[in-house]
Each structure stands twice: as C-alpha cells, then as structure tokens.
Amino acid sequence: MNTATDYQQIQQRYEFDVYPKRDITFVRGEGCRVWDDTGKEYLDCAAGHGVVNVGHCNTAVVEAIQRQAEKLITCPGTYYNDAKAQLLEKLASITPDGLNRSFLCNSGAEAIEAAIKFARATTGRTKFVCANRSFHGRTMGALSATFSKAYKDSFEPLVPGFEFTPYNNIEALGAAVTNETAAVILEPVLGEGGVYVGDHDYLQAARNICDKSGALLIFDEIQTGFCRTGKMFASMHAEVIPDMMCVAKAIAGGLPMGAVICGQKVEVSIGSHGSTFGGNPICCAAANAAIEYMVANKLDENAASLGSQLVTRLNDANLSRVREIRGVGLMIGIELRTKARPFVMQLLEEGVITLPTGATVIRLLPPLTITQEEITHLEERLTSCFT
Amino acid sequence: MPECVICAAEVTVDASTIKGELIECKDCGTELEVVGVDPVELAEAPTEQEDWGQ
C-alpha cells in the first residue's frame, strides 16, 4: 500500500505540473474542513479557489451525483435530458430578468471562451475592452482578456483586438469603447487582481456605454457568483443586467461545470459551437442539488452577515501589518504592508488555508456554509498573525 | 521624499514604514520595496515567481 509520501513522489514523477506544490496531501473534506493524510485538520478558506460554496462533500450534492450515476452519465447535446432541462430552468430562475438561455460547458475559461465567440458572432465585430488587473482564464481567448503579462508572456501572440482600461474608471471605459467593440468584459469584483469591488456607478455606466455603442456587456461572475458576495450574483448589488453572464466554479458543488447565461440580444447559429461534456447529466444533477441547497439554506445571507462581521472585527483590531481590507460578502482581500506569501505559509502551518493574490494580498474564499464558530476561529488566527 | 528607482517620481512613504513594506509607484506602477528606513531607501521589489492562481 502506498504511503502519503509515495503519492507525492508519484505525482512528482508523472504529473506534467503547472502548479507550485506544498508538501501536503489532502485526502478528505467535509463542510469547511479538509484533512491531510496524517490526519491534520485544516479550515479551508480557499474552498478550491471558491468552488465549494456549499461545503466539501455536501450531502445533497453527493446523493444527487450517486443517484444520477446509476441512471445516465453522459448524453450528447443533440438530445434532450431531464437533469439538464431542470438545471437550465433553475439557472433562468436565479438570474436577473432577460437572462434565460444558458450554454453549458465545463469550466470558467470555457465559458469566457464561448462568450467571446458569441459576442463576435452576434455583433460581427472583433474588438473587446477589458479591465486592468482582470483575470478570466488561461485558454487563448480568456488569456487574451486577462490583464497580467505574467500569465501571457510565454504564449504570445494571443487573440488580437483586446484593450484594457483602469478598473472603476468610467471615463477611460467610455473612451475605449467604439462602434467596433464587440463586447466589454468585466468582473463585478476583481478576484485574482486583488479583490477590488466594482463601483455600482462604474458597472451601470458600462451598461450605458455598451448600449450606446452597440457592444455587448459580459460579466464574469465565475468567482463572484452563487452567493459568494452576499447575493446570488455580484452584479445584483449594482442592479446591472449584462447580455451574457459567465459562471462556473461553485455552480455544481465541486464538479467541473461552466455556463454562459445569455440575454435576448445574443444569437449564434446552430452547429457553430459545442462541448462534448458540457451539460452532462452528472454535473447537471450536482448543480441542481447545489443551487437548491444555496437557496434553501440562504447562503447569500450567511455570506453577507459573516463576511461583514469578519471585516468589521479585523478592521476594529487595527492590525499593524494590514494596509487595507477589501471585499464583499465572503470574498475578502486583506492587503498587507509586506509580502503575503510568508503569512499564507504561516496560516497553513497553523491549519488555515488561504490564497495569496498579487504580492501583498491574502484572499479569503471560504465555503459559504462556514459557521459562526469557524469564523471566530479564523478571526483569531488572522488577528494573531497580523498583529 | 524618496524617489522611484525606475521613473524617479517622488514616492510618498508613511512615517511608520517598516523594512520589507511594498509600495506601488503611482506614476509608473513599479512595485517598490522599502529596504531601509533611516533614511528611507527603496528598491524594485523582486517579482514573485510562484503562481497560486486559479
């Protein structure tokens, strides 16, 4: 039988690795906790990069997967399917009015990729305006819409026609969008870019600018969606309805799934796009269970109240190492005065998983099922670390 | 007032700054590290090589 060290050696030998590795092998998860192969318990405030909003191994999701696995695992997009139909109806019911037709795929990057193609096909235009500090994914189209050169340098040339303007700068956005712009692509809250919350005026202005120029408005709600920010979708705070909303991460309770939820303006011809695994019955069943759980357990309200409480208490603690705390709901960025990574490693050692973003920001994306007791524990660890 | 080591713009540094503090130059966006505090001395911050990205 393999030991934990063996698993690490096997991965080191056979994985074509693109991630730096920590010397930890995770083997189990439940709710907001994960355990490594030595039995050490961690409070997971990364949630697989914001994936398990309903908690690790959520019972409702697990049971839905088990039931569906015994019925039908795969079904091509050319045929109808009960689990898929239920999910499409559910997505239309939780998104703003007018967003009622979804293309289902397997990831956030795929959703962005599809949205770029849909915008080109709908408008006949090829230019896109995105934001400084944006992150939309690592496939060639999504990477072209991503700001940071660090992600792009090795892969140039990318898709042409992408321009970037400062986030929350209405004037710059207005100047960049022309009658050649196919779409504006924005995150309502910049995640990987450092957790910067979009001003409501900025997001509303983006809607108006797009309407005047004939461009489409695409919101990337991949990280912000599904109750993360205290509402089902972050753009609901600003009451702005995009033409396409890209979602993924938390949609299926931890299984890989993405979607582009489209408004009436968006049109592409049948046969012009597709996905072999997109909308497969197992992921649809998991997503149905995850969304039902989010709604029934009011995870939006839990994210809003516990996120606000945590930020207030951390601010009140006047932590000497902290420059600023930003965020909304349980999407929180703690900007430090010095490098974040040593503190990420210290917290990991103490059994708290967090994420660095940029050089100085620690990002918190815990499962939205996190309890008062767990939030208090997190607050104590952070306060101790940053004092 | 200390200057950006890249573009020579003046950089505002808080009096309570600490060694290792990272500050972004408002003019050119370069990330600067406080490598001395008395007097304040700035250097271009080393680029983080590790990507934990999503």
3-state SS string for chain B: CCECCCCCCECCCCCCCCCCCEEECCCCCCEEEEEEECCEEEEECCCCCCCCCC
> Which of A247, A269, A296 is a domain's end point?
A296
> Which of A296, A322, A357 is a domain's end point?
A296
Q: In angstroms, rounded to a whole number, what is the distance separating the alpha carbons of residues B15 and B32?
A: 16
**Which CA distances in Å does B37 have to A319, B11, B12, B15, B32?**
20, 14, 13, 9, 13
Is residue A48 domain-shared with residue A78, that is, in the same domain?
Answer: no
CATH label of the domain that carries residue A381: 3.90.1150.10
Is residue A363 domain-shared with residue A335, that is, in the same domain?
Answer: yes
Number of domains in chain A: 2
Find how far residue A59's CA is from the centre of its chain: 22
Residue A14: which domain range?
4-58+298-386
Annotation says A316 is catalytic: no
Is residue A228 domain-shared with residue A349, that is, in the same domain?
Answer: no
Annotation says A135 is catalytic: yes
Pull the structure tokens for residue A61.
């999701």
Residue A59 is classified by DSSP as: H
Pull the structure tokens for residue A6.
């063996």
The 10 Å CB-count burial string (b at 16+, else e) for A211-250 is eebbbbbbbbbbbbbbbbbbbbbbbbbbebbbbbbbbbbb
CATH label of the domain that carries residue A69: 3.40.640.10
Annotation says A249 is catalytic: yes
At B49, the pLDDT band (50, 70, 90 cuts) reads low
Closest to A53 measured CA to CA, from A227, A298, A261, A233: A227
Amino acid (one-letter) located at A5 = T
Tell me the three state secondary structure of residue A219.
Answer: strand
Tell me the three state secondary structure of residue A294.
Answer: helix
A-B CB pairs within 8 A amount to 39
pLDDT, average across residues A347-376:
96
> In sequence order, what E strands does B1-54 have?
22-24, 31-37, 40-44
Is residue A317 domain-shared with residue A284, that is, in the same domain?
Answer: no
Q: In angstroms, rounded to a whole number, what is the distance separating the alpha carbons of residues A357 and B54?
A: 10
Chain B residues within an 8 Å CB radius of A355: 52
Instruction: Give the closest of A355, A356, A360 to B22, CB-based.
Output: A360
Per-residue pLDDT of A32-85, as tens digits, reads: 999 999 999 999 999 999 999 999 999 999 999 999 999 999 999 999 999 999
pLDDT, average across residues A110-130:
98
The 10 Å CB-count burial string (b at 16+, else e) for B31-47 is bbbbeeeeebebeebee
At A170, the pLDDT band (50, 70, 90 cuts) reads very high
Contact between A30 and A57 under an 8 Å Cβ cutoff? The reply is yes
Sole residue written with tokens 């649809």? A284
Sole residue written with tokens 């700001």? A147
Is residue A76 domain-shared with residue A119, that is, in the same domain?
Answer: yes
Contact between A281 and A75 under an 8 Å Cβ cutoff? The reply is yes
**pTM, two decimal places:** 0.94
> Which of A267, A296, A325 is a domain's end point?
A296
Is residue A14 domain-shared with residue A95, that is, in the same domain?
Answer: no
Quickly count helices (H) and strands (E) in chain B.
Answer: 0, 3
Question: Measured between CA atoms, how close is A123 to chain B, in angstroms?
Answer: 30
Is residue A102 domain-shared with residue A220, that is, in the same domain?
Answer: yes
Q: Do A338 and B50 touch (CB under 8 A)?
A: no
Q: Do B20 and A359 touch (CB under 8 A)?
A: no
Instruction: Give the closest of B18, B31, B50 to A337, CB-based.
Output: B18
Is residue A169 domain-shared with residue A83, that is, in the same domain?
Answer: yes
Query: Exactly one of A84, A90, A127, A249 is catalytic; which is it?
Result: A249
Quickly count helices (H) and strands (E) in chain A.
Answer: 14, 17
pLDDT value at position A367?
Answer: 98
Residue A171 is classified by DSSP as: H
Q: CB-based contacts of A154: which residues, under 8 Å, 6+ apart?
A: none
Q: Is any Cβ of chain B less than 8 angstroms from the Cβ of A110?
A: no
Query: Exactly one of A103, A118, A128, A135 is catalytic; which is it?
Result: A135
Is residue A339 domain-shared with residue A369, that is, in the same domain?
Answer: yes
Sole residue written with tokens 């974040």? A340
Which residue in A has a C-alpha nearest to residue B33's C-alpha?
A338
Pull the structure tokens for residue A262.
């489209």
Pull the structure tokens for residue A212.
């005047």
Contact between A253 and A59 under an 8 Å Cβ cutoff? The reply is no
Is residue A182 domain-shared with residue A285, that is, in the same domain?
Answer: yes
pLDDT value at position A5?
Answer: 65
Q: Do B53 and A135 touch (CB under 8 A)?
A: yes
Q: Is any Cβ of chain A less than 8 angstroms from the Cβ of B45?
A: yes
pLDDT value at position B51?
Answer: 64
Which residue in B has a C-alpha nearest to residue A47's C-alpha?
B54
Question: Measured between CA atoms, how close is B51 to chain A, in angstroms?
Answer: 7
Question: Measured between CA atoms, how close is B18 to chain A, in angstroms?
Answer: 8
Per-residue pLDDT of A220-268, as tens digits, reads: 999 999 999 999 999 999 999 999 999 999 999 999 999 999 999 999 9
At B48, the pLDDT band (50, 70, 90 cuts) reads low
Is residue A191 domain-shared with residue A93, that is, in the same domain?
Answer: yes
Q: Is any Cβ of chain B less than 8 angstroms from the Cβ of A50?
A: yes
Residue A47 is classified by DSSP as: H
Question: Measured between CA atoms, how close is B11 to chain A, in angstroms?
Answer: 15
Q: Do B51 and A20 touch (CB under 8 A)?
A: yes
Is residue A258 domain-shared with residue A291, that is, in the same domain?
Answer: yes
